[in-house]
Chain A
Amino acid sequence: MSSDGPAQTDLGFTDPNPTLGPKYGVVKAFAIPIVSVLLAFAVGGILIYFQGVNPFTAYRVLFESALGDSDGYLRVMQKSTPLIFTGLAVVVGLRVGLFNIGAQGQLIVAAIGAAWAGYHFDLPAVVHLPFALGFGMLCGAAWASIAGVLRAYRNVSEVITTIMLNSIAIALVDYLASRPFKEPDQPLSRTPLISDSAALATFGVIPSGFVIALIVSLFFGWFLIRTTEGFRFNTVGLNPNAARYAGISVKRTIVLAMAVSGALAGMGGAVETMGVVGRFEPAFNAGLGFDGITIALLARANPIATIPAAILVGILRTGANSLQFETGIEPEVVDVILALTLLFVAAPIVSRYIFRINAKRKSKSKGRS
Chain B
Amino acid sequence: MDDELVLEVTGLTKRFPGVVANEDVSLTVHKGEIVALLGENGAGKSTLVKMIYGLYRPDEGEIRIKGETVRLSGPREAIRRGVGMVHQHFQLVPVFTVAENVILGNEPRKLSFIEKRKAIKEVTALAEKNGMAVDPKALVRDLPVGAQQRVEILKALYRRADILIMDEPTAVLTPQETDELLKTMKGFAANGVAVIFITHKLREVLAIADKIEVLRSGKVVGTTTPAEADQAKLAQMMVGRSVLLSVEKSTSSPKEIVLDVVGLSSDSDIGLPAVREVNLTVRSGEIVGIAGVEGNGQRELVEALTGIRKSTATKFAINDENAIGADPHEIHSMHVGHVPEDREKDGLVGQYSIANNMVLNRFDEPEFSRRGIRNMDAVNGLATKLVKEFDVRTPSIKTPANSLSGGNKQKVVIARELSANPSLLIASQPTRGVDVGSIEFIHSQIISARDNGAAVLLVSAELDEVLGLSDRILVMYDGEIVAELESADADRAEIGRLMAGGHAVMAEESSHG
Q: Please say whether the chains A and B touch (CB closer than 8 A).
A: yes
Q: Which residues of A contact B (CB under 8 A)?
A: 2, 13-15, 17, 19-22, 226-229, 231, 234-235, 238-239, 241-249
Report the bound CA distance from A239 to B347 in whole Å.
9
Shortest CB-to-CB span from B383 to chain A, Å, is 9
Q: Are B351 and A238 in contact (CB under 8 A)?
A: yes
Please name the 5 residue pairs, one residue from A and one from B, whose CB atoms are nearest each other, closest first.
A247-B329, A246-B361, A247-B328, A20-B353, A228-B364
* Cα distance A245–B346 in the bound complex, in angstroms: 6
Q: Do residues B348 and A242 form an inter-chain contact, with CB atoms below 8 A?
A: yes
Residues of A within 8 A of B329 (CB): 247-249
- Point out the residues of chain B lying under 8 angstroms from A22, CB to CB: 353, 398-400
Is B453 among interface residues, defined by CB-CB distance under 8 A? no
In Å, the complex CA distance between A227 and B375 comes to 9
Instruction: Fill in one digit per residue for B420-435: 1 if any A CB lies within 8 Å of its CB, else 0.
Output: 0000000000000000
Q: A20-B355, A21-B398 are in contact. Are A249 and B373 (CB under 8 A)?
A: no
**For residue B346, which residues in chain A have a CB less than 8 angstroms away from its CB?**
241-242, 244-245
Whether B376 and A228, one on each chain, are in contact in the complex, defined by CB atoms closer than 8 angstroms, is: no
Beyond A242-B349, A247-B332, is A20–B360 a contact (Cβ under 8 Å)? no
Q: Indicate if the CB atoms of B400 and A15 lie closer than 8 Å.
A: yes
A245 and B340: CB pair below 8 A? yes
Most chain A CB atoms below 10 A, which of B338, B340, B361: B361
Interface string of B355-383 (1 = CB under 8 A from A): 11000110110000100111010011000
CB distance from A241 to the nearest CB of B (A): 5
The answer, yes or no, to whether B397 is at the interface (CB within 8 Å) is yes
Known: A20-B355, A241-B346. A246 touches B374 (CB 8 A): no
Closest to A247 in B: B329
Q: Is B352 an interface residue (CB 8 A)?
A: yes
A2, A21, A234: residue with the most chain B Cβ atoms closer than 10 Å: A21
Query: What does the 1/0 interface line of B329-354 toward A look like (CB < 8 Å)?
Result: 11110000010100001111111110
CB distance from A29 to the nearest CB of B (A): 14
Would B356 and A15 count as touching, CB distance under 8 A? Answer: yes
Interface residues of B (CB under 8 A from A): 306, 308, 327-332, 338, 340, 345-353, 355-356, 360-361, 363-364, 369, 372-374, 376, 379-380, 397-400
Given contact pairs A227-B372, A228-B372, A245 touches B398 in the complex (Cβ within 8 A):
no
Chain A residues within an 8 Å CB radius of B353: 15, 17, 20-22
Q: Kindly list chain B residues whose C-beta atoms are within 8 Å of the C-beta of A228.
A: 363-364, 369, 372-374
Given A21-B398, A226-B376, A248-B329, 15 further pairs, Cβ under 8 A: A2-B345, A20-B376, A20-B380, A21-B353, A226-B373, A231-B364, A235-B349, A238-B349, A238-B351, A238-B352, A243-B349, A245-B328, A245-B347, A245-B361, A246-B360
Given known A228-B364, A235-B360, A239-B350, contact A17–B328 (CB-CB < 8 A):
no
A222→B63 CA distance, assembly (Å) = 55
- Could you say which of B338, B356, B364, B369 contacts A17, with CB atoms under 8 Å apart? B356
Question: Which residues from chain B contact A19 at a C-beta distance below 8 Å?
Answer: 376
Chain B residues positioned under 8 Å from A249 (CB to CB): 327, 329
**B338, B340, B373: most-surrounded residue (chain A CB, <10 A):** B373
Q: What is the distance, in angstroms, from B38's C-beta to the closest C-beta of chain A?
A: 28
Complex CA–CA separation, A227 to B372 (angstroms): 6
Chain A minimum-CB-distance residue to B370? A228
B331 contact set on A, CB distance < 8 A: 247
> How close is A42's CB to chain B, nearest CB, in angstroms?
32
**A-chain residues with CB within 8 Å of residue B399 when the two chains form the complex:** 22
In the complex, A13 Cα to B398 Cα: how many Å? Answer: 15
Q: A19 → chain B, closest Cβ, in Å?
A: 6
With most chain B CB atoms within 10 A of its CB, the pick from A13, A234, A244 is: A244
A238 — which chain B residues lie within 8 A by C-beta?
Answer: 349-352
Residue of A nearest to B350 (CB): A239
B357's nearest neighbour on chain A, judged by CB, is A242
- Give the docked Cα–Cα distance between A225 and B352 (Å): 12
Report chain B residues within 8 Å CB of A227.
372-374
The residue in chain B whose Cβ has the minimal distance to the Cβ of A10 is B351
Which residues on B sit within 8 Å (CB–CB) of A2? 345
Instruction: Please give me the residue from chain B that is nearest to A242 by CB atom.
Output: B349
In the docked arrangement, what's the CA distance between A242 and B346, Å? Answer: 4
Most chain A beta-carbon neighbours within 10 Å: one of B346, B348, B351, B397: B351
Shortest Cβ gap from A250 to chain B (Å) = 10
B375 to chain A, nearest CB (A): 10
**Partner among B345, B361, B376 whose Cβ is within 8 Å of the Cβ of A247:** B361
The chain B residue sitting closest to A248, CB to CB, is B329
Cα(A14)–Cα(B350), bound, Å: 9
In whole angstroms, what is the CA distance A340 to B226 when docked? Answer: 64
Say whether A226 contacts B374, CB under 8 Å: yes
B328 contact set on A, CB distance < 8 A: 244-247
Q: How far is the CA of A226 from the CA of B397 in the complex (A)?
A: 18
Q: What is the distance, in angstroms, from A251's C-beta to the closest C-beta of chain B?
A: 10
Question: How far is B361's CA from A150's CA once the two chains are assembled, in angstroms?
Answer: 26
Please report the C-alpha to C-alpha distance between residue A234 and residue B360 in the assembled complex, in whole angstroms: 11
27 contacts between A and B (CB under 8 A): A14-B351, A15-B356, A15-B398, A20-B355, A20-B398, A21-B353, A21-B398, A21-B400, A229-B372, A231-B363, A235-B349, A235-B352, A238-B349, A239-B349, A241-B346, A242-B347, A242-B349, A242-B360, A244-B328, A244-B346, A245-B306, A245-B347, A245-B361, A247-B329, A247-B330, A247-B361, A248-B329
Q: Which residues of the other chain, B, contact A242 by a CB distance below 8 angstroms?
A: 345-349, 360
List A contacts of B355 (CB < 8 A).
20
For the complex, give the distance between the alpha carbons of A241 and B329 in Å.
14
List, in ascending order, chain B residues with CB within 8 A of A244's CB. 308, 328, 346
